[in-house]
Structure 1
Amino acid sequence: MGVAFDSSDRDLSFRIALEYFDDLRILFNAKCSGLEPWQIVSYAISLCFLIAYIKRMTRSNEPPLVQIRKSIFSFLRSLPWVRRKLEADLAKAQAEIEDEVHQSDHMREFYKFLPERCMDTEEILADGRRYAMMGERRYMQHYDPQTREEDMKLSAKLFDLFAHTDPHRSDAFPGVRKMEAEILKMTCAMFHGGKDSCGVVAGGGTEALMLACLAYRNRSRARGEWRAEIVAPSTAHPALDKAAAFFDMTIKRIQVSETDDRANVGAMKRAIGPRTCMIIASAPNHITGTVDPIEKLAKLAQRYHIPLHVDCTLGGFVLPFMEYADYSVPAFDFRLPGVTSISADLHRYGQCPGRLSVLMYREPDT
């Protein structure tokens, strides 16, 4: 037989609970009686920031001790005298690295723009031989001069000169490193990059796009957000999904406009959130071949202070040449302030014999 509780018992329990809460209120007020209003407000705001920080830490995959250590180091690096010391050391290290990589290049003259006139075969081969000799001066000094001369005679074509090289070994093959630097600088100029534009040479469009995602993910984490998010049209490169899986990111695929298969700017604007680390646009995309409204997306990215990456890996390299031929091409590159990075394939319309892409940034701190 169960025990029945009437309404009077429930009312009694409620009154007892209220008395406990009232005792706590009196105790709390007594403890805070010596505090001024500004102190109470400051403590409340500090508590809110602490709760937000703990909540952000719990969303991270890194151990709490690692996050605390990084936060401490980040605070120390922000101190003025520490920041000045770090900047001085970085500048010194950069100068040492430049001297090291250029030690075989005594002239230190670089192609920064496409030549105004077509270079003939002999001129190209002459430049190629000069670049190849940079590595030979350092690593083939013990070779017999006659043998070295015979080896050079076998190199009848530019491709043969560098078939044995490894771009990852820039110390052994400085000529390859210099050619990559020149390719990057000329491409930045074609896409209207300024004097601070920079980037990397990649082995394909997928690698270039993934490197951009990695850079913006690291940028997001440096600002305290550990769940970086990509906002991209549904027609954007599938490498974005690979990057999200590799780099612990999430991606929002937004359906394109039904009328023209281009990015829906309004829908992408609604998809932007506090975790958004980058916006993607295509010129053109890999599904329908349409060019997204990059001017509108650039304004959107600039308004919300979010990086905008323009993927030109599917034939986008031809767009600058169309401008040179007096075709009307809407702005899609670094002329738009909101565009922070661009990826382009040189093996599509760039006459590159193998898979080669470039990833360009507006500036080093993008």
Structure 2
Amino acid sequence: MDAAQAIAGDVLEATVIYLEKARVAVNGACRGFEGWQIILIAAGVTLLVTRLYNWLDHPRLTIRQRVVHNFWSFLKGLPIIRGKVKAELAKNVQKIGEEMYPTKEGDHFLNRLPADGISSDEIFKRLEQYKTATFADWKGGKVSGCVYGGTEELSTLCAKVYHDFAWTNPLHPDVFPEVRRMEAEVVSMSLKLFHGGPNSGGTMTSGGTESILLAMQTYRDIAWEKGIDRPEIIAAVSAHAAFNKASHYFGIRLILVPNDPKTHTLDVRAMKKKISKNTCCLVASAPSFPYGLLDDIEAVSKLGERYNVPVHVDACLGGFLIPFMEKAGFPLPPFDFRLPGVTSISADTHKYGYAPKGSSVILYKDKETRNFQFFVAGSWSGGIYATPTMAGSRPGALIAGCWATMMYFGERGYVSTTRRIIAETRYITQQLRKIKDIYVFGDPLISVVAVGSDKFDVFRAFAALGKKGWNLNSLQFPASFHLCVTQRQTRTVSDQFIKDVRDCVKEVMKDPGKKAEGAAALYGTAQAIPDRSIITEMARGYLAACYNTAMGESNGVSH
């Protein structure tokens, strides 16, 4: 005890000596400076250090991303470059607008209310004119994904349901208790499909993006409760862009890990290396949108258990196929709440659930987690404001339409449609693998077949298929395209697609070194542009063109 006290005394004495030396050194360094100068220098250094810390500790971007962003911002800010970039972007935006709205002679856009209301007959007449502008043959099965339901009988049912519930709003459950009940039943039926337990819960949303946003906001708030100031999501590069949107909206850092080069699915080892004390959620896809491939969800679940991190399964695309695949004769590895680490699942009822657009469900293993999703403003002067999802008012008619659709199909109906779609997808995959000079990504077990090539610019084949009437999804990193199979791809349509792919590849291979031209060239060019902010500006121009009515010559409705 005496020895310990002696050591402590020596340490204290040494500390006092060093502090005295430091005091003398600082005073010596400040000799010759006036007091106001010392204060100014100290304030300047503090401000500089604070700015550097904030720059390095950005809530969403890594240091590398910040450096790259600032480098390109500097270059684009140079006068000689700024003008050229602005002019080129303006030219591309104008071209996009012209291609998007090809007007016929006598056609015009409306940009003000008609002086007097017009009759129902004339409204329907104008709607028929608008429908003639549709380019893609989605009814004939030449569109990838996009329209999943839409049969005549189901359309009639949903139209009648919409008519009966057009003015309902679940924001007022006391006024519209039937809508509240239908939403609760849709959620309960969905939870049952994914093996939710008695304490599981969820809500309906407007679509897959909102489902993903709500899950990520929930995990961010849970992380905040745990004292994690800078929460991070870890996902594969092939995860849906809605996770990027969640990162942008909610200030969560999104850490993207590569796919396995052989399987093109999430590299679980790479994900494990990125887990830290700030990780608030691990993401797996069932399947991923680009390639339609199922991540190793069981392995991700084990990571979640081991590190006590929530696991979200994004089943927005395949959510109403995968629960029925085993009974349809196509069993899958585990993917749902049967896995201990899986804490939430997003699934779109408006895709393979065939409900009217837009509806989806976000499901949680336990209600306590789900309740973090709810927003409550308890001190608002207008009363207590509480909403379960992002929207305040919501269309009760879409909830009713979703409920009616699920009741219409029933389990056997969904198993039957799943069997047809999966069988058709496997058939297309098998046939495409026989075509020389292209390859199919990974092992597409569900409903998407992605095609690439290491022999030619694949966007040339993509463009050629477009000329044959196919509306497919273009992909990047690497360059590719995919077909998302729906009920509209019958065997006849599938055979036509396979034939058209074979013919287009054969034609392209006559000059394999040639690059894509025209609109198709934009896809390849976009991949090669290192400054992704330029792509952002082009995309914003595209979105702006969707709202452009400046080409309209009339300010009213012609009678």
Same fold per superposition (TM over 0.5) = yes
Residue in structure 1 matching 2:366, options 359, 363, 366: 363
Which residue, 217, 237, 240 being the options, matches 1:237? 240
Tell me the residue number matched to 1:43. Answer: none
Question: Equivalents in 2 of 1:209, 1:160: separation in Å?
Answer: 30
Q: Separation in 2 of the partners of 1:23 and 1:333?
A: 60
| Pairing 1:286–2:289 present | yes
Alignment of 1:1-366 (within 5 A): 22=14, 24=16, 157-366=160-369
- Offset at residue 309 of structure 1 (A): 0.1
Q: Secondary structure at the match of 2:368?
A: coil
Q: Deviation of residue 171 (structure 1)?
A: 2.4
Q: Percent of pairs identical after alignment?
A: 43
Cα distance, 1:164 vs structure 2: 1.8
- Give the superposition deviation at 1:200: 1.1
In structure 2, the residue matched to 1:114 is none
Distance 2:195 2:15 in 1: 70
More RCO (CA 8 Å, sep 6+): 2
How far apart are the structure 2 equivalents of 1:22 and 1:310? 58
C-alpha separation between the residues in 1 aligned to 2:177 and 2:185? 12
3-state secondary structure, aligned to 1:240:
helix
| Distance across 1 between alignment mates of 2:240 and 2:353 | 20
Alignment-mate amino acid for residue 253 of structure 2:
T
Name the CA distance, whole Å, in 1 between partners of 2:18 and 2:255.
Answer: 50
Partner of 2:284, secondary structure, is strand
Which stretch of the first structure deviates more once superposed, 354-363 or 317-326? 317-326
* SS at 1:365 equivalent: helix
Deviation at 1:23, TM superposition (A): 6.7
**CA drift at 1:270:** 0.1
Contact 1:341 1:362 in 2 (8 A): yes
Task: Report the equivalent of 1:8.
Answer: none
Q: How far has the Cα of 1:27 moved from its partner?
A: 10
Deviations 1:82-105 (A, max 9, x none): xxxxxxxxxxxxxxxxxxxxxxxx
1:60 is displaced (CA, Å) by: 11
Structure-2 separation of matches of 1:276 and 1:170? 37
What residue number does 1:132 align with? none
Deviations 1:232-261 (A, max 9, x none): 000001011111111111010101011011
Q: Deviations over 1:269-290 (max 9, x none)?
A: 0011110000000001111110
- Give SS of 2:295's match: coil
Deviation at 1:323, TM superposition (A): 2.0
Superposition RMSD on alpha carbons, in Å?
2.6
The one-letter amino acid of 1:275's match is N
Structure 1: segments with no counterpart, 5+ residues: 1-19, 29-54, 62-120, 129-155
Instruction: Confirm or deny: 8 A CA contact 1:281 1:292 kept in the other structure.
Output: yes
**Over residues 308-354 of structure 1, what are the superposed CA-to-partner deviations in whole Å (9 max), with x where a residue is unaligned?**
00000012221111122232111100010000000000011112022
Unaligned 5+ runs, structure 2? 1-11, 21-52, 60-152, 370-559
Contact 1:255 1:264 (8 Å CA) reproduced: yes
State whether residues 60 and 226 of structure 1, in contact with CA within 8 Å, keep that contact through their aligned partners in structure 2.
Answer: no
Residue 279 of structure 1 aligns to a residue in which SS?
strand
1:157 alignment partner, SS class: helix
Note the alpha carbon deviations across 1:125-164, whole angstroms, 9 max, x for none.
Answer: 9xx9xxxxxxxxxxxxxxxxxxxxxxxxxxx932321122
CA spacing shift, 1:199–1:328, aligned 2, 3 Å: same
Q: CA distance change for structure 1 residues 23 and 262 in 2, over 3 Å: closer, same or farther?
A: closer
